[in-house]
Amino acid sequence: MTPQIVITLAIIIVSMGFFIWNRIPAAVVALGASLAFYFTGVLTMPQVVAGFGDPVVVLIAGLLTIAVGLEMAGVGAWAGQLLIRRTGGSDTRRIVLIMVLGAVFSGLIGMNGAVAAMLPVTAVIAIRTKVPPSKLMIPLAFGCLTGSKLTLLGTPVNVIAASQAEEAGLGHIGFFEWSVLGLPLLAGTIVITVLLGRFLLPERRGNSIPADLSAHAYTLVEQYRLEDGLYHLRIRASSPLVGAARSSVTLAERADLTLIGMLDGDNRTALHRDLLREGDLLLVRGEAEAIGRFAEQSHLALSEAGPVADALLNRESGLAEVVLPARSKMIGQTAFPGMTTEDGGLVVLAVQRAGGEDCKGPVQLRAGDHLLLQGSWKALDQYLGDPQLMVVDSLEVVQKQAVALGPGARQAIAILLLLMVLLGFNLVSAPIAAVLCAILMVVTGVLTVPQAYRGIDWNTCILIGAMIPMATAMTTTGTSTLIGDYIVGALGSGGNIAVLVGVFGATALVSQFISNTSSALVMMPIGVATAHQLGVSPLPLMMGVAMGASASFLTPFANGVSLMVYGPGGYRFGDFWKLGIVVMAWSLLVTVVVIPLYWKF
C-alpha cells in the first residue's frame, strides 16, 4: 500500500466523519477534502478544480433548468394535482405512485432530471397531506435510482456499460433491454419501501420545504373578503358586449364599480376566449344600486354566485399580496379598490390596514398597509420588481404550485420530448442535449434568464463538483483498484456467481464514496479482466458492475438524486442506510438471479 493510497483513504475517512457529524455544510466538507488532496500532493491544481467543469455537473445544471421550466409552465402542478386526486388518503397508494412516476421520469429524462422534476410535486403532496417529508423523499430518491435501470438513458452508467460492451464486440444492449433488470428491481424496491418504510424512515420535516400555495387564490379571497359586494352578471343576447373583445371591457370610467374577472358561460371557469358571447359572466364588485344601473345599461342579468378564485388566478392572470415597507415612497399616496396602473395592467382589488381593517374608499397609504393586486403574470412580474413594495408570497412559487398547465406548457412538454429523442437515439451527448434544451426553455419564453439561474440548485452543483476530485484521487492513486482486486481475488475461486457477487459488492462499496459514473469506469476493466481469467463472457460481469454502480443507497452523497432530497427531507447522514441496506440486498438478488439467465456466462 503506497503512501498516496494511505493519504487518500485517510482523507475519505475523515470526510465521511464530518458528513456523519453533520455540523459543517456538506459542500464545505467536500471542498475541504479537495483542498486536502492538493496540499498533500495527491492531486494537482487542475485535477482539484476539474470537477466543476465535469460533464456531470453541466448535465445536472441543464436538467435542473429544464425541470424548472416544466414547473413554471404548470406541468409539475398538474402532476401534483393528479397524484393527490389518485392517492386520496392512502399512504400506500401515495408512495407507490410517487415511486412509479419518479421511475418513469428517470427512464425518460435520467434520474437527476426526474428527481428535480418530482421534488416540488412531492413537497406539495407532503404539505397538503400533512405527511412528514422524510417519509416521502427517500422513497422518491429510491424510485428514481431504481427506475434508472428501465432504459439506456436512465443513468450514464448504462451508457458506459453499453458502449464498452459494443467496443469489446459483445453485442448491442438495446434502449429498453435494461428493463429486464429495471422492472424487477423497481417492483421489489416499491414493496420493500411500502412494507418497511414506516419503520425505517425517520419522521422529520425539512427546513427547505416550501409553503403550500396551491389554494392561494381561495386563501386571499377569504382574507380580503372579496366576495362581499361581488355580483355575477350574465351577458344577455341583446347586450352590446356580445362580440366585444375581452380586453376592451373595462370599468375604469366607473369609480363605483370594479371589474374583478370574467368567466366562460359554459363551464364557469376563467375566460380565455378573445371575444365575449351570450352567457359569459362578468364578476363586478360594487354597491347594489350601482350594479343595478350598470346591468340595466349593458343588458346584463344577475346570475347565481360561483367560484371567484379561479377567475382571479389562472393561466393568464394572477394575484399578488404586497406590503408597504417603512421607507416606501408610496406612503401618503392615495389608493382605493378598483384603482388601476396607468397602462391598466394591474388593478387594486383591496386595501387592508395592518390590523385587518378593509378600506372601501380612497385612503392615504401608510407603512404596513396591505394591497391585493390582480393582473397578467407579465404585468405582475414587471411592477413587483419595484423596491417600494414587498411581495408577501413569491410570484414564481405561486405560479408553479397553483396554475396547472399554464402559459408555456406546450413548449415545455415539446422541449422535454426533444430531450427524450436526443438522448434516446444518442444524437448528441447528454450534457449537450441538456444545455440545448435548457436554452430552448429561455428562447421559447417558458423561462426568463433570472428564473433559470434561480432554479438551479447551486449547492448541489458545487457539492458534486467538489466530490469529483475524490473519485480522481481514488483512481489515480490506485485505491479503487486495490479495493476491487482484493474483493474479486478473495472470491475468484468460488465460481461465476461468487465472482458476480464480488464484482457487485466491490462496485457498490466504491459507489458509496464516489459517483456511480466514476465507480463504473474504475470497476469495468476489473470485471472484464476477471472474466478473461475465468474464461467466461465478460458481459454478465459488466452488467454486474453497472448494477453495483447504481446501488448507492447507503449514503446521501453518493449520487445527485440522494443529494437533492437530502435538504427537503430534513435528513441526517445515517437516515439512508437503514432502508438502503435492504434495497441493496434486493438489488444484489436481482443481479445474481436475472443476469445469468439473460446474459449467459
List, for residues 237-251, the tens digit of each pLDDT value.
Answer: 999 999 988 778 877
List, in order of start, the domains of the chain with CATH numbers.
10-208+458-598 (no CATH), 225-312 (3.30.70.1450), 317-392 (3.30.70)
pLDDT in tens, 41-62: 999 999 999 888 888 788 778 8
Q: What is the pLDDT of residue 488?
A: 66
Q: 336: which DSSP letter?
A: -
The answer to whether the beta carbons of residues 522 and 481 sit under 8 Å apart is: yes
Q: What is the pLDDT of residue 106?
A: 85
Q: Quick one: three-class SS letters along 480-497?
A: HHHHHHHHHHHHHHHCHH
Distances, alpha carbon 31 to alpha carbons 120, 206, 410, in Å: 28, 24, 40
Q: Quick one: three-class SS letters along 284-334?
A: EEECHHHHHHHHHHHCEEEECCCCCHHHHCCCCEEEEEEECCCCCCCCCCE
Q: What is the pLDDT of residue 99?
A: 94
Distance CA(23)–CA(18), nearest Å, equals 7
Q: What is the pLDDT of residue 209?
A: 59
In whole angstroms, what separates CA 138 from the centre of its chain? 14
The answer to whether the beta carbons of residues 96 and 442 sit under 8 Å apart is: no
Say what the pTM is. 0.70
Distances, alpha carbon 366 to alpha carbons 138, 259, 324, 337, in Å: 47, 25, 7, 16
Beta bridge partners, 270, equal 263
- Cα atoms in the 13 Å half-sphere on the side-chain side of 31: 11
Distances, alpha carbon 258 to alpha carbons 41, 164, 338, 361, in Å: 72, 68, 5, 12
Q: What is the pLDDT of residue 37?
A: 93
State which residues of the chain have pLDDT below 50.
Answer: none
